[in-house]
Amino acid sequence: MTTIIIWIIIIGVILFLFRNTIKEKFFTDKTKNYTIDDKYNAAKREREKEIDHLLSKMGKNGIQDLSEKDRKRLDELSQK
């Protein structure tokens, strides 16, 4: 019984010491941008999504459906 507990403690210590290696190997970050182009394209897609959302909020009645904050944000995004 005590040998099982000792083995569990040893395994726990080993896992603790190599936790960063285990994390990098098995739990990679899926949202990591690898190049400048990837970062630029990801930012561009986010801007386009936000513009599409604001334009869909406008609906049939035009820009009157947007709040002042939304209008300013739409102006900022359209200038980029």
> In this structure, what token pair is assigned to residue 27?
């739990």
The range of the structural domain enclosing residue 43 comes to: 2-79
Which has more pLDDT, 27 or 10? 10
Report how many domains make up the chain. 1
| CA angle, 23 then 45 then 32, to 5° | 15
Contacts with 39 (C-beta within 8 Å, 6 or more apart), sequence order: 33
In which band, very low, low, confident or very high, does the pLDDT at 66 lie, cut at 50, 70 and 90? confident
pLDDT of residue 12: 93
Q: For 33-54, how does the pLDDT look when each residue is reduced to its tens digit (9 = 90+)?
A: 678 888 889 889 999 999 999 8
- Give the max Cα distance, the chain: 75
Is residue 42 within 8 Å of 33, Cβ to Cβ? yes
What is the Cα–Cα distance from 74 to 55, expressed in whole angstroms? 8
- Location of structure tokens 């083995």: 7
What is the Cα–Cα distance from 4 to 6, expressed in whole angstroms? 5
